[in-house]
Amino acid sequence: MPGPSKGALAGLKVIDLTRVLGGPYCTMVLSDHGAEVIKIEPPQGDEVRDWGPPFHDHEEGGRDASYFIGVNRNKKSLALDLARPEAREVLLRLLDGADVVIENFKPGTMEKWGLGYATLSERFPRLIHCRVSGFGAEGPLGGFPGYDAIVQAMVGLMSINGTETSGPTRLATPVVDIGTGLFSAIAILMAVVERQGSGKGQYIDMTLHDCGMALLHPHAANFFLSGKRPAATGNPHPNLAPYDKYRTRTCEIFIGTGNDATFRRMCGLLGQPALADDARFRTNADRMANRKELSEIVQAIVAEEDGHALCSRLLANGLPAGPVLFIDEVAEAPHTKAREMVAEIGWYKGLNTPIKFGRTPGGARAAPPRFGADGEGVLAAHGFSAEEIEALKRTDVLVTERRREARPAPQPKAAE
């Protein structure tokens, strides 16, 4: 858990207009390390508050889904109806003195509201404006909506995941959204560093499409060099052998060898030193050419081993190996506890930051905010008088209770 440090990003002010996952993941990374993140939600709230079960039922009423809880800690929440000019004026006052605004509206929305970067940069020349979208504003797909699984399919990630029999398979974790959040955090911090010299902010154009493609290593590199279309290989590595999952007496394990010396040492530890001198397996290229035969031999060797004990023995001798654990096992693992990778704050429990600073530690500091819980406090801190705040509440510019969108009326069937 974080110590008394305010974090490496203390003093950085971020106005967060994002919803769902990519943008909120980015701002959680920043908030973990001390940035003040003011999350501005639409009147209906961030829709992932409803992406459950499971839900956490708050003592004071209402509930939030785990999907929201998992990526929105350390933030302040207020809700504005930005479709109204009065709310956009409130936003402009909040942007005064802000370092970053990040949004994931459909490209063109901010411009339609008079809040595009060209306009904002004139008023706030040091402001960094990060836009997260599916495909950007330009190009054949410009302006189209993007969702993690769809982009996984469109950029080739599904094509290299799965097995020969399963066909292209979605990665179970939303790697495109999370990757976009991480790339966006890196980009924002780069812009902050550049601003120290130039004194100017800038516009950052982040897309799920581009970030998804950036995750294709080594498959794209293999294709560019060989000209061959990469295919799904399941658990085995496309460039190394043995690098696969094996069944043992007690559990499944994963063993990986990165070079010939490691393979030779593994053979010795498995009691089969002669295997390293077999002409079929002497080099990685040999092993790749005879991957199936090698995998069958290794499987036969480890089948009756205690998988956990075997992995401990291999690791102790510098060989990459580990048991295939389920998430509940990982959460309770001794090393997880030693690395403080699970945070608990009152009712909140979640994964902690993997970024470990020696002098300015970060991590979970506050539970995710209730909808609009910080609206009045945030506005007061930005110079709004009590009278102004009451007026904004009275006119529903500042939203204090989530609005549920009315269902559209049934439409008559078209003529046959």
Place of tokens 């609009």: 372
The backbone torsions φ and ψ at residue 11, rounded to the nearest 5 degrees and listed phi first, read 100, -15
CA distance 59 to 56: 9
Give the integer Cα–Cα distance in Å for 211 and 223.
18
- The CATH architecture to which 13-216+338-399 belongs is 3-Layer(aba) Sandwich (3.40)
Alpha-helical segments (H) within 290-402: 291-302, 307-316, 327-332, 334-338, 375-381, 386-394
* Count helices and strands in the chain by DSSP H and E runs: 17, 14
Q: How far apart are the C-alpha atoms of 110 and 92, rounded to whole Å? A: 12
Cis geometry, peptide bond prior to residue 242 (ω within 30 degrees of 0): yes
Check: CB of residue 354 under 8 Å from CB of residue 341. Answer: yes
Catalytic entry in 99, 148, 177, 244? 177
* CB within 8 Å of 271: residues ≥ 6 apart: 301
Q: List Cα–Cα distances, 61 to 362, 371, 407, 412, in angstroms.
A: 30, 12, 24, 39
pLDDT in tens, the chain (416 residues): 455 689 999 999 999 999 999 999 999 999 999 999 999 999 999 999 999 999 999 998 899 999 999 999 999 999 999 999 999 999 999 999 999 999 999 999 999 999 999 999 999 999 999 999 999 999 999 999 999 999 999 999 999 999 989 999 999 999 999 999 999 999 999 999 999 999 999 999 999 999 999 999 999 999 999 999 999 989 889 999 999 999 999 999 999 998 999 999 999 999 999 999 999 999 999 999 999 999 999 999 999 999 999 999 999 999 999 999 999 999 999 999 999 999 999 999 999 999 999 999 999 999 999 999 999 999 999 999 999 999 999 999 999 999 876 434 333 334 33
Q: From 39, 68, 64, 22, select the one nearest 372 (Cα to Cα).
A: 39
Please state, in angstroms and rounded to a whole number, the distance separating the CA atoms of residues 115 and 131.
Answer: 12
Query: Shortest CA distance to 199 belongs to which of 124, 278, 113?
Result: 124
177 is catalytic: yes
**pLDDT of res. 97:** 95
Residues in the chain: 416
Whole-angstrom distance, CA of residue 316 vs CA of residue 314: 5
DSSP string for 192-259: HHHHHHH----EEEEEHHHHHHTT-TTHHHHHHHH-PPP---SSS-SS-SSEEEEE-SS-EEEEE--S
Omega into 361 within 30° of 0, i.e. cis?
no
pLDDT confidence of residue 3: 52
Q: Phi and psi of 192, rounded to 5°?
A: -65, -45
How far apart, in whole angstroms, are the C-alpha atoms of residue 267 and residue 301? 10
What's the CA gap between 191 and 185, in Å, rounded? 10
243-247+252-323 under CATH 3.30.1540.10, yes or no: yes
The alpha carbon torsion through 215, 218, 220, 223 (nearest 10 deg) reads -170
Extents of the domains making up the chain: 13-216+338-399, 243-247+252-323
Q: b/e string for 377-415 if b means 16 or more Cβ within 10 A?
A: ebbeeeebeeeebeebbeebbbbeebeeeeeeeeeeeee
Please compute, for residue 255, the number of CA atoms within 13 A of its CA located in the half-sphere on the CB side. 29
